Amino acid sequence: MFTAPMSNQPAAPVIAAGWWGGVVVASGLILALFADSLSNLVRLWNSDPGYSHGYLVLPVSLALASSTFRRSGPPGRGELLVGLAGIVFGVACQLTATVFRWPPLSFVAMVAVVRGVLVCAGGQAWAAAFTFPLLFLFFMFPLPATWTGYAALWLQDIVTRLAETAIELFAVCHRVGYTIHIAGVDTPLVVAEGCSGLGQVVAFVAFATLLGELTRRPGWYCFILVLAAVPVAVVANTLRVVAIALAVKSFGAGWLDGALHDAPATFSYPAGIAIFLLVDRVLSAVVARPAEATTVANPPPTTPEPEGVGRTIAARRPVAVAAVVLAVAVVTQVALAEHVREARDLSFPSQSGSLDHLPLVVADPDSGRPAWSGTDLPSARDAVRSQLPFQADDLLVRGYRHVSGAEAQLYVVHSRTGQDRKHHPEICVRDVGGVPEDLGFRDQVPLSADRAGRAQRFLFRPASGRPTVVYYWHYTGTPVPDPSRTFLQTLHLRLGTAAPSVTVQLSVGTDEKAVLDSVARVLLPALDLAARRDVLPPGAETGCDRIPIGLAR
């Protein structure tokens, strides 16, 4: 009788098959748990060029995880309680993020849940090997607007100044704010938010961390690479602006409005990567790469594991329990999302009427004679709509003429999701247009006799031309009182929802006292009264504060 020799090797195929089945189920449940967050991220990547690199982050993380798995081998004995603790913590973070809609919390939730599943499958030591691929997912998520708004302005100023210096080498030009005027070119060059390099800073930081990980560099080396992301982005975008200026000087500015408008943008990413590789080459000459033979990034567990069917059960049972917990979490997440979404859809009333209902002719309340006569400007409205970085649900651009001959322009925009608030004269006129503001003139002007609402008044004095006085305010919808609304729905409405709103800006082409008195006494109250009576839903609140925003392009 022939007896085959016994092998001391574990039944790897059986283990892999059992474990991979659990991975497929757990991965599907994780995708379902974060489906809403991922869908919001995809919309962001499509609408904001600064985060278009988000499409690459998940494939890169998966490739890194696959490489880590090949080095670490299949999982050993999982740690069920520790893994479940991580999963429960992550699920709690995701449920909280659903109520408050704060993307960074979804990142914490995703990392905690995935790591919890890995701990259930193979223990803490085995799961620790996947730390970098998990943390790399951070670059999929947007940074808080409070950071990005001011950072974009700072980078925009640097890029504009450097570009002006470079352009002066071959053409006469001068800079006003973020606008560069080139001699012989009718259309000025505006360094918009997309040219600031802020989005590319995030992409280059991701590239720096990935480069440091793949080349096994020491920590201080990776830190220098990350710091280099800011100057690399500035240099790459300066080259981009200079390339646009050269093309405009040579071929005219007509192509800027065509399909070739974004062509120079494709230059900045390769240029930045080339600069990064040059920085890496210079730094590598300073420090020697650690020997591969002595580098053990993720040593496999040394504890002997059960063989054959026993190890299969050890590997599969904790993952199965984790899958059950994830299934319950998915059901809870879907129910919670629908619960708070129902409050959002039903709690904010619609506009009472169109913005066109604002009066064309405004009479002086004392004399009864027309003081301001308006004319709609459809071509200007269409031009403004094409430049807005969001979808306007209603938009009005109208010119008014005072009996004295002074002119004013009214800009009103409505957004059901509060996107209209991404405009403010302090940013769009002063910072982007480079028009100096007379801070001593800034004041708040009542919109009505009861002083229930106020408009913020600004005075901008360009180096040449007439001064412009701007009045800015906004209306924000309030939820309809509903005793049946739950505590979670109330929290979501107050802290996790951008309420529908209307932004109003009136620009007056003079600082003459008589005209401004008529604006404050006649025009502003008439617009406010008509807006509340014919346009806004009941209970709309008035304000003139500025939220943390980026630049309106």
154 and 124 share a domain? Answer: no
Contact 539, 522 (CB under 8 A): no
Q: In the listed set 267, 291, 315, which residue is the last one of a domain according to the structure?
A: 291
379 with 520, same domain: the answer is yes
The answer on 534 and 385 residing in a single domain is yes
pLDDT string in tens for the chain (553-residue length): 444 444 444 444 344 445 567 678 888 999 999 999 999 898 888 877 667 788 889 999 999 999 998 888 878 788 889 999 999 999 999 999 998 888 889 999 999 999 999 998 888 999 999 999 999 999 998 877 666 666 666 777 788 788 888 888 888 887 776 677 787 777 777 776 554 456 677 788 888 888 888 888 777 888 888 888 888 878 887 887 888 787 777 766 555 554 445 555 566 678 778 887 888 788 777 765 544 434 444 444 444 444 444 444 444 578 888 889 999 999 999 999 888 887 766 678 888 899 999 999 999 988 889 999 999 999 999 988 887 877 899 999 999 999 999 999 999 999 988 888 877 787 677 655 667 778 889 999 999 877 678 999 999 887 667 889 999 999 998 888 778 888 888 888 777 777 889 999 999 999 899 999 999 999 999 999 999 999 999 888 898 887 654 433 2
Asked, for residue 300, whether it belongs to a domain, the answer is no
242 and 128 belong to one structural domain: no
Q: For residue 4, what pLDDT is reported?
A: 43
**Domain range for residue 461?**
351-543
pLDDT for the residue 303: 45
Span 188-224, pLDDT tens digits? 777 765 544 566 777 888 888 888 888 887 778 888 8
497 lies in the same domain as 516: yes
Report if residue 395 sits inside a domain.
yes
Place of tokens 């306007």: 392
Distance between alpha carbon 113 and the CA centroid of its chain, in Å?
24
The pLDDT tens digits for 421-465 are 877 787 677 655 667 778 889 999 999 877 678 999 999 887 667
Q: Residue 193 has what pLDDT?
A: 54
| Domain-located, residue 95 | yes
Total structural domains in the chain? 3
Exposure string over 107-117, b if 16+ CB within 10 A, otherwise e: bbbbbbbbbbb
**Listed residue (449, 454, 495, 493) closest to 474, CA to CA:** 454
Question: Hunting for tokens 């709103």 — which residue is that?
Answer: 501
Tokens of 164: 């002006």
Among 445, 420, 431, smallest CA distance to 508 is for 445
Mark out the alpha helices in 48-138 (DSSP H runs): 54-72, 80-100, 103-128, 131-135
Residues 138 and 250 in one domain: no
Residues 334 and 388 in one domain: no
Question: What is the model's pTM?
Answer: 0.69
pLDDT computed for residue 262 by the predictor: 54
